[in-house]
Each structure stands twice: as structure tokens, then as C-alpha cells.
């Protein structure tokens, strides 16, 4: 079965600068896809090319088998939600939601019924006569979402729609967006620089850097098996431990005099040379733990209470690592300066390319 959204060798150049570099990906109907990356990586430019607001320098875009690369935005049957709410301030909520329906020539009675349906969907029934200035930022963004999906688009495009909202509203609204997307079964492309947003609501994530795709995969794949060092550091916290290679054949390394065996070493590792082992804070444990085959002695440098999680910073000679553990009200956390033994499973060590 052919993919619903196909981007093929998409490139965009502004003058002498190439901001999107021959990017290709394909997704199935009904998927929620996030384009994730830092500012300037090309993610919004890709979204704008899909929407028709930017023309590709080369490459093609297909939706449901139709080549839309050179169609005008209003010919693509796509819904767009912007970072700014972009509501018409002189129109009521109902007229904002029904604007696209009116332009399309839908009769007034049908339009009112569709607006009522959209207001129920976004949890704002009875708000049709209000104006944007009478609503909170979160409510305005819900209206912008309803306006985008009211004409029943083939696909929904979201350009960092939560960035102007405070943290608590962002979390609740992103959950609502995901619930609505699942209810409608609409293919959705979501642009964000927030890794937590992307991980929490996406079926698959495209991680971008400097106009290129670094990795494409499900959230658990992106987080647990990052393909490059950029992905590992951009998505989640990371520990980098500098080690000295002792024996290549035996795959032994030394961490400040503590010798351990690891499953893999970087391809450029040499005996006596320095390499870097990479691991997530949550794979470390205080003391021994079943399944952990590596133990290290260190000293508590810092303790940070984060509510349900306590983050410890532990000195291992010249290395300092972070360890995340759940808060247990029956067991107080260790104190600064206290010696501690930590353990991990060698299979959780990551060997990453640049």
C-alpha cells in the first residue's frame, strides 16, 4: 500500500544558503508525525512547502498519491494551524470557525451545524458568539484548530501551535490535540523544538539538524536507540563518560582506574587511547541491581529534588554523571560528599557516531 504522505528529495535554497537538503520520508494515513529539531534546522520550511507557502527548489510532495508540489495552498485540501493564533479579531468565534466553510460556499444552515460540531469537539460549546479578545490563549488556539479542521482537510499541519502558551496549558492542550487527531483519524504533521512534546504525542518523529534528517523512528526508538550523537543529546539527558581503552579484543576500558568490560567500542578506538561511553541517567542504579553487570564507586556531588524524581550528580574520578531515581518518601536521598556505589547493565551503553 502506498504511503499517504511522501516527501521525495525535497530541497530548499535561499540565495546561497540551503536550508533543506534533499530530505525524503513517507508516512501512512492517520499517523501523527513530528518534525523535531532546533531553530534553523529546516523543519518549519518543510511544513511550509507541504502547505504550499514555499516553493521547493527541487523535489516533490505527494498526498494520497497526488503530486501537490506546485499546487496553490487553497488547492491542496490541507488544514494549517500557526504558532500565532491568526484569528480574525473582528469576527466571532463561530464566524472564525466557519470562515473557510463560507468561502467554500456551504449553505448557512449546514455551516452553523458544522460550527456547533467543532465547538463540541474542542470543548467550547456555547462560545460561538464570543470574540477572540474575550478568550484565553489556550481557548484561542482551540478555535484556530477547529477552524483548520472544519472543512474536513485531508491532512492537518501544526506549526509550533503551543509555543505561546504556559507550561501547564501546553501539556493539557497537546493531549487534547492528540485525542482529537485520533478521533478524526487525520494524518497530522506537527512542528516543534520541544522534545517532550514530540515524544509524548507522536507515532513517529523526524529529528532534523542543519537541513538534514538525523533519524526517523518511533519515540521509543529515538530515545532508547539514538542513531547519532546529535540525536542522543537533543532528545533527553545524556551522560558522557571518558574512558581509556585497555584491551580491544577483550573490550575492556578503564574509568579512572576502575576496569570494566563493555559490549562494543567505537570503531576508531585504540589501546591506550581515550573513548567516550554514553548512557541515559535513568539506566544507572544506586547499589547493585539484578541484571546490572557493571559497578562503579563514586561520590555524591549534588542532589536535586524534582518531585517524583531525584537527580543525583556523582563524581567518578574526572567524570561526573547524572543518575535519576524515583522519590521514595520512606528512604531519604544520600547526602553530598557521601561515597556511593552505582551499577548499570553493559547493554545500556551506547556507541554513537558523530
222-260 pLDDT, tens digit per residue, is: 998 898 889 988 998 888 888 888 988 888 888 878 888
The whole-number average pLDDT for the span 271-297 is 88
Residue range 147-183, pLDDT digits in tens:
999 999 999 999 999 887 888 888 999 999 999 999 9
Average pLDDT, the chain: 92
State the CATH number of the domain containing residue 139.
Answer: 3.40.50.300
pLDDT of residue 317: 85
Q: Is residue 265 part of a domain?
A: yes
Same domain, 112 and 229: yes
Residue 339 lies in a domain: yes
Mean pLDDT, rounded, for 42-57: 97
Q: Which domain holds residue 268?
A: 239-348
| DSSP, res 248 | T
Task: Verify that 217 and 244 share a domain, yes or no.
Answer: no
Residue 353 lies in a domain: no
Query: Is 354 domain-assigned?
Result: no
288 and 224 share a domain? no
1-30: pLDDT as tens digits = 679 999 999 999 999 999 999 999 999 999
Residues 217 and 249 in one domain: no
- For residue 299, the model assigns a pLDDT of 95
Same domain for 342 and 252: yes
- Of 320, 288, 318, 319, the residue nearest 302 (C-alpha): 320
As a whole number of angstroms, the distance between CA 243 and CA 21 comes to 36
Same domain, 221 and 313: no
Residues 118 and 245 in one domain: no
Q: In the listed set 187, 205, 234, which residue is the last one of a domain according to the structure?
A: 234
Percent of the chain at pLDDT exceeding 70: 99
Write the CATH number for 261: 2.40.50.100
User: What is the pLDDT at residue 353?
Assistant: 60
pLDDT tens digits for range 190-209 = 999 999 999 999 999 999 99
Does residue 112 sit in the same domain as residue 160? yes
Decide: helix, strand or coil at residue 79: strand
Kindly state whether residues 166 and 310 are assigned to the same domain. Answer: no
The structure's pTM equals 0.88
pLDDT in tens, 308-320: 889 999 998 888 9
Assess whether 76 and 177 both reside in one domain.
yes
pLDDT of residue 1: 63
Q: At a CB cut-off of 8 Å and minimum separation 6, what does 288 contact?
A: 295, 341, 343
Number of structural domains (the chain) is 2
φ/ψ of residue 307, rounded to 5: 90, -105
Judgement on whether residues 198 and 268 belong to the same structural domain of the protein? no
* 16 secondary structure, DSSP code: T
d(CA 328, CA 308): 8
Nearest to 66 by CA among 144, 9, 15, 4: 4
Predicted confidence at residue 354, as pLDDT, reads 58
For residues 91 and 144, the answer to whether their CB atoms sit within 8 Å is no
Q: Which of the listed ranges 177-186, 271-280, 331-340 does the model predict with the highest average pLDDT?
A: 177-186
Shared-domain flag, residues 208 and 273: no
Amino acid at each position: 500500500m502506498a504511503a499517504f504522505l511522501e516527501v521525495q528529495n525535497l530541497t530548499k535554497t535561499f540565495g546561497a544558503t540551503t536550508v533543506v537538503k534533499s530530505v525524503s520520508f513517507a508516512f501512512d494515513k492517520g499517523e501523527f508525525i513530528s518534525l523535531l529539531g532546533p531553530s534553523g534546522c529546516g523543519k518549519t520550511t518543510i511544513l511550509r512547502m507541504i502547505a504550499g507557502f514555499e516553493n521547493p527548489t527541487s523535489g516533490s510532495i505527494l498526498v494520497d498519491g497526488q503530486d501537490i508540489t506546485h499546487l496553490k495552498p487553497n488547492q491542496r485540501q490541507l488544514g494549517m494551524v500557526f504558532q500565532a493564533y491568526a484569528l480574525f479579531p473582528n469576527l466571532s468565534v463561530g464566524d472564525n470557525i466557519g470562515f473557510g466553510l463560507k468561502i467554500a460556499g456551504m449553505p448557512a444552515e449546514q455551516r452553523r451545524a458544522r460550527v456547533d460540531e467543532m465547538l463540541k469537539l474542542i470543548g467550547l460549546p456555547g462560545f460561538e458568539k464570543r470574540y477572540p479578545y474575550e478568550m484565553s490563549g489556550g481557548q484561542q488556539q482551540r478555535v484556530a484548530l477547529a477552524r483548520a479542521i472544519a472543512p474536513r482537510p485531508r491532512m492537518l499541519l501544526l506549526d509550533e501551535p503551543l509555543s505561546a502558551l504556559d507550561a501547564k496549558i501546553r501539556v493539557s492542550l497537546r493531549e487534547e490535540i492528540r485525542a482529537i487527531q485520533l478521533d478524526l483519524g487525520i494524518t497530522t504533521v506537527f512542528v516543534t523544538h520541544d522534545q517532550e512534546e514530540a515524544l509524548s504525542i507522536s507515532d513517529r518523529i523526524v529529528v532534523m539538524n542543519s537541513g538534514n534528517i538525523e533519524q526517523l523512528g518511533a519515540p521509543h526508538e529515538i530515545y532508547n536507540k539514538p542513531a547519532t550523537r546529535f540525536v542522543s543529546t537533543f532528545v533527553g539527558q545524556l551522560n558522557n563518560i571518558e574512558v581509556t581503552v585497555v584491551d580491544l579484543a577483550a573490550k575492556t576500558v578503564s574509568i579512572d582506574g576502575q576496569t570494566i568490560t563493555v559490549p562494543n567500542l567505537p570503531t576508531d578506538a585504540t589501546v591506550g587511547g581515550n573513548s567516550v561511553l554514553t548512557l541515559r541517567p535513568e539506566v544507572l542504579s544506586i547499589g547493585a541491581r539484578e541484571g546490572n553487570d557493571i559497578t562503579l564507586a563514586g561520590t555524591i556531588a549534588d542532589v536535586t529534588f524534582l518531585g517524583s524524581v531525584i537527580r543525583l550528580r556523582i563524581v567518578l574520578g574526572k567524570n561526573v554523571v547524572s543518575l535519576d531515581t524515583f522519590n521514595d518518601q520512606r528512604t531519604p536521598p544520600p547526602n553530598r560528599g557521601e561515597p556511593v556505589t552505582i551499577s548499570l547493565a553493559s547493554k545500556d551503553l551506547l556507541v554513537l557516531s558523530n
